[in-house]
Amino acid sequence: MGMQRIYVVAGELSGDILGAGLVRELKARHPEAAFRGIGGPRMIAEGVDSRFPLETLSVMGLVEVIRHLPRLLGVRRALRRDALDWQPDIMIGIDAPDFNLGLERQLRDAGLTTAHYVSPSVWAWRQGRVKGIARAVDAMLTFLPFEAAFYAHHRVPVAYVGHPLADELPLTNDRDAAREALGLPAHGSILAVLPGSRSNEVRFLGATFLDAAERLCADRPDLNVVIPAATAARREELERLLAERDTLLGRVTLVEGRAREAMVASDLVLLTSGTAALEAMLCHRAMLVAYRMAPMTHFLAKRLVKTEWISLPNLIAREPLVPELIQEAANADTIVARLTEYLDDTPARVALESRFAAMHAELQRDASRRAVDAVEALVAGRALPASVAPEGDATEGTGS
């Protein structure tokens, strides 16, 4: 018998996108299934009965969370009652771990099957949380192979499903077409500069990135720069910084959004750590990752973070494919030196592009389909599709 009732709780817009893909695949296999929980416009369009608006859980920052805690706890109690009254075949929490893992644990304790889609960064810091996760979920569905290896090591049932972003981005791309679309020169080198989506990131590194770009442009008449601003506010901040640098006039193209186009158009990317590094990898472009944070944050991070690298391409490859300049090392002199090495070594860039294309192909696993394979296995009481080799490398699943 197919699944009849599926409870899905997403906490923000990215979760709504993932949830819509998951629900679409579930509906294709189980046309009679009903869905409820919390979702945004995409999930609602797929037929999810959303009991609260998506924005209910979108609270950022410690102070904000504390202020909204009574309301959030009330929402969690209401969802717990709603799910237990409805008795779904499975409850799937999508991201929002601080909210969802607590709800998942309560529902699992009450006898429901639970899964969590999108691993929190438990492999990087506060690794003790894995014990709570093991009590909360019947399975963790992860995007990346090293995440799955972490859970397998800690004996938490896990399915590595691949990354939806890898499914979304094509395995081949056209640098010339992207340049034409952005109005960039067809010839010469293009450096894409992505100083971050948060105001703090632009404050800590925006001027440094532009200083490095200014010096590179002075040395290289054939170099042009494209800067995709993440938001209108970031664009205004970058325009103020560019106004102080007359030598960059005519050499910089500032656009709003269109980060992927800018990366595809480029020969080389300078960026802060985060999802942008994964996107640059999936666009198959050589990159330099630089990151600077408040001194106290860095002091704490050095003591709490357990990973050898900070950028996702290095974490996925388990080797330093991408140079990482952190804190004091993220200065204009070092950035210029490392970018110059890349710009002068075309064979190395081309080799890295090929390596990234191969990594992209490995991550392109039809994530929504594999996630549903795992959900079906859980509900049916079958073993999860095999996804992690003993040494932690991703292998093809045997159960899908």
Per-residue pLDDT reduced to its tens digit, 266-324? 999 999 877 889 999 999 999 999 987 656 655 555 655 666 777 889 989 989 999 99
Q: Outline where the chain has alpha helix (H).
A: 13-29, 41-45, 62-86, 97-109, 129-136, 145-153, 164-168, 175-182, 199-219, 232-243, 259-265, 275-282, 295-304, 312-317, 332-344, 346-363, 367-380
Query: Residue 129: which pLDDT band, with cuts at 50, 70 and 90?
Result: confident
Both tokens assigned to 94 = 């999508």
- Over residues 334-363, the pLDDT tens digits come to 999 999 999 999 999 999 999 999 999 999
Q: The tokens 């190395």 sit on which residue?
A: 348
Q: Are residues 151 and 129 in contact, defined by beta-carbon separation less than 8 angstroms?
A: no
Q: How many residues does the chain have?
A: 400
The architecture (CATH level 2) of 175-362 comes to 3-Layer(aba) Sandwich (3.40)
Q: What is the pLDDT of residue 1?
A: 55
Answer with the residue of higher pLDDT: 158 or 122.
158
Q: The tokens 């991703």 sit on which residue?
A: 394
Answer with the residue of higher pLDDT: 258 or 201.
258
Q: What is the pLDDT of residue 20?
A: 95
Look at 30-39, 59-68, 227-236, 254-263 and tell me which has the smallest mean pLDDT.
Answer: 59-68
Write the single-letter amino acid at 60: M
Q: What is the pLDDT of residue 307?
A: 65
- Over residues 365-395, the pLDDT tens digits come to 999 999 999 999 999 999 898 654 334 443 3
Question: How many angstroms separate the CA atoms of 221 and 343, rounded?
Answer: 13
Helix (H, G, I), strand (E, B) or coil at 143: coil
Q: What is the pLDDT of residue 12?
A: 79
The string of DSSP letters for 150-189 reads HHHHTT--EEE---HHHHHS-SS--HHHHHHHHT--SSSE
- In the chain, pLDDT over 90 holds for what percent of residues? 67
Question: How many angstroms separate the CA atoms of 133 and 110, rounded?
Answer: 16
Helix (H, G, I), strand (E, B) or coil at 393: coil
> Where in the chain are all domains bearing CATH 3.40.50.2000?
5-162+365-380, 175-362
Q: What is the pLDDT of residue 88?
A: 98
Helix (H, G, I), strand (E, B) or coil at 51: strand
Around Cβ 32, how many Cβ atoms within 10 Å?
Answer: 10
Question: How many angstroms separate the CA atoms of 346 and 64, rounded?
Answer: 48
Summary mean pLDDT of the chain: 88
| Geometric angle at alpha carbon 99, from 96 and 104, rounded to 5° | 100
Query: Residue 65: which pLDDT band, with cuts at 50, 70 and 90?
Result: low
- φ/ψ region of 381 (left if φ > 0, alpha if ψ in -120 to 50, else beta) reads left
What are the C-alpha distances in Å from 73 to residues 99, 173, 337? 9, 46, 51
Q: What is the pLDDT of residue 293?
A: 64
Specify the CATH number of the domain 5-162+365-380: 3.40.50.2000
Question: How many angstroms separate the CA atoms of 382 and 138, rounded?
Answer: 12
- In the chain, pLDDT over 70 holds for what percent of residues? 88
Look at 69-83, 159-173, 288-302 and tell me which has the smallest mean pLDDT.
Answer: 288-302
Q: The tokens 């990482």 sit on which residue?
A: 324
Around Cβ 308, how many Cβ atoms within 10 Å?
Answer: 11
Both tokens assigned to 168 = 């979304």
Question: How many angstroms separate the CA atoms of 375 and 230, rounded?
Answer: 35
